[in-house]
Amino acid sequence: MTSSAPTSVPVPDTALTAEGVAVDGAHGVLLAPTSLRAVPGSVLLVAGSPGSGHTALALALAGRMRPDHGTVTLDGDDDPRRLRRAVAVVDTPGVSEPEPVLPLRTVVGEELAMAGRGTTPRAVAEWLGARGAQTWVRSRFEDVPAAVRIGLMTALAASRPGIRVLVLTAPDRHGGTPVTWWQVASEHARAGFAVVVTCTEGSAALLGVPAVRLGGGDPGAVTEPPGRHARPDDPTGPLTVVAPQGPPELPEGWTRRLLRRRPSPAAEPRPEPPPTPSPSPSPSTDTDTDTDTEQAGTDPEDAGTAILPGGEPEPPDGGTDSTSTPDSTGSTGTTDGTERTS
């Protein structure tokens, strides 16, 4: 999509200032005290978690909601009517966000009407075509890619007469990379608008741009370290938990347990019938299961060592543990010389 930055430049001395602005709700605080100053030709990020007052701040800055505490002024004037004429809220949830099921051409037509522009189907198609968005002219608004919808909605708001400040509300809720809407905001700032963008702290960190803390009260920008919320370079770094291995001394809370098993006769391959009958077993071994197993060459096998959280330590005599381990055929050997088939 081509650049949609406006060509008209607002009055250069515009300054939107909020001092300790806070909004109380019926069941709690909608917006904690927030202070900021937005000037023409720049983008100001206001970062906060979802639900911390993004919409309330946008409405207060635009004169559409009277704050319970603090003041909002435009060039020193706190007249809400002047704020409403000069400040546009862009894609604000529940306020200026278009209905998702409406066709894009309908949304654009309504916005062009507010700007005093032509609203015929041809005029709408030409406006979208000039911005490389003619592909979605008949698409539902919810099906338009996030990057396209943010660019179009910002351009439409900027085209209204008298608008000098743009407030983009949580554009990162649509997904995608923050760089997309940051570029849109920067284009309008270069055209002379004062642009305020609310976003999450994660988006501000990914951009590496200083941001005012939503509800922080301090008008000074707080710099988020770049990449704080990004995936670490080594995917096996702090996100991987590995049980202690190797050294005899284990950390507190971990226990090394030696596992043993006796092979199940069912696990052994069945030999071919011998050409001559085998001698009968000695009667002395019929009543001793352990002795018979040992004579058959099925001594207990080492099933490995398990390092487990908690539990009792390994028996000092190196004996077998009561933990059973499955053999290759699904039967389970135990340390009492018996076998249990699952």
| 13: its two tokens | 């001395």
In the chain, the N- to C-terminal Cα span, in Å, equals: 63
Q: Please report how many Cα atoms fall inside a 13 Å half-sphere around the Cα of residue 50, on the Cβ side.
A: 8
Nearest partner of 228 among 47, 54, 51, judged by Cα? 47
Nearest partner of 165 among 73, 227, 241, judged by Cα? 73
The pTM (predicted TM-score) of the whole model is 0.61
DSSP string for residues in 278-338: PPPPPGGGTT-HHHHHHHTT-PPEEEEEEEEESSPPPPTT----S--EE-TTS-EE-TTS-
Q: Going from the N-terminus, what domains does the chain have, and what CATH number goes with each? A: 16-213 (3.40.50.300), 251-262+299-342 (no CATH)
Provide the residue-wise pLDDT of the chain in tens; the chain has 342 residues.
Answer: 544 555 555 544 568 999 999 999 888 889 999 999 999 999 999 999 888 899 999 999 999 999 999 999 999 999 999 999 999 999 898 888 889 999 999 999 999 998 888 889 999 999 999 999 989 999 999 999 999 999 999 999 999 999 999 999 999 998 888 999 999 999 999 999 999 999 999 999 999 999 999 987 655 544 444 443 333 343 333 333 333 444 556 556 556 555 554 554 554 455 555 565 555 554 444 444 444 444 444 455 554 555 555 555 445 454 444 444 444 444 444 444 444 443
The answer to whether the CB of 152 falls within 8 A of the CB of 124 is no
**Cα–Cα distance list, 289 to 66, 244, 298, 323 (Å):** 88, 38, 11, 21
